[in-house]
């Protein structure tokens, strides 16, 4: 796990739910949880960063409340330091989408990310 990936996971875990790489959710993982991509864009590039909140529920209110807390923390841009640099998350459009699938629901949060690698930092 790179320093950037670990920092992103730790930042999202601060919202109280387990966080997994989008392509590496353990078999039998208990809902609710958050999935994040493992991305490391070039120092001068912006990339999409799709976060998904997953929950076993019949209603959307608590899931949207958790998504709103993350979106509020991102606000107009949040800096997340990691060993050797800093990542910046920006809101994208549309910011949130609720995706129901029976009793398993998820909220897709669309963000953009820059990662600035600073040797010696």
Kindly report the pTM of this predicted structure. 0.92
How much is the pLDDT for 120? Answer: 63
Identify any residues that bridge with 117 across adjacent strands, giving them in sequence order: 85
Burial 99-113 (b: 16+ CB within 10 A, else e): eeeeeebbbebebbb
**6-54 confidence digits (pLDDT tens):** 999 999 999 999 999 999 999 999 999 999 999 888 777 899 999 999 9
**Cα 94 from Cα 72, distance rounded (Å):** 15
**Residue 35: DSSP 8-state:** E
Q: What is the mean pLDDT of residues 103-115?
A: 95
Which single residue is written with the structure tokens 């990310």? 113
pLDDT digits (tens, 9 = 90+) for 51-95: 999 999 988 999 999 999 999 999 999 999 998 899 999 999 999
Grouping H, G, I as helix, E, B as strand and the rest as coil, residue 96 is: strand
Strands laid side by side in the 33-36 sheet: 19-21, 33-36, 46-56, 104-117, 85-101, 78-82
**Which domains are delineated in the chain?**
3-117 (3.30.2000.20)
Give the C-alpha separation, 74 to 108, whole Å: 14
What is the b/e burial string over 41-53, where b = at least 16 CB atoms within 10 angstroms of the residue's CB?
A: beeeeeeebebbb
pLDDT at 107: 98
């Amino acid at each position: 796990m790179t320093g950037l990936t670990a920092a992103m996971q730790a930042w999202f875990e601060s919202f109280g739910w387990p966080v997994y790489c989008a392509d590496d959710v353990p078999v039998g993982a208990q809902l609710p949880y958050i999935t994040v991509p493992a991305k490391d864009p070039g120092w001068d590039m912006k990339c999409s960063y799709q976060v998904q909140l997953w929950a076993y529920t019949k209603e959307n209110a608590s899931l949207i409340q958790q998504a709103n807390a993350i979106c509020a923390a991102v606000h107009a841009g949040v800096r997340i330091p990691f060993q050797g640099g800093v990542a910046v998350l920006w809101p994208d459009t549309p910011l949130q989408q609720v995706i129901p699938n029976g009793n398993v629901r998820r909220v897709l949060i669309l963000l953009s990310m820059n990662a600035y690698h600073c040797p010696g930092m």
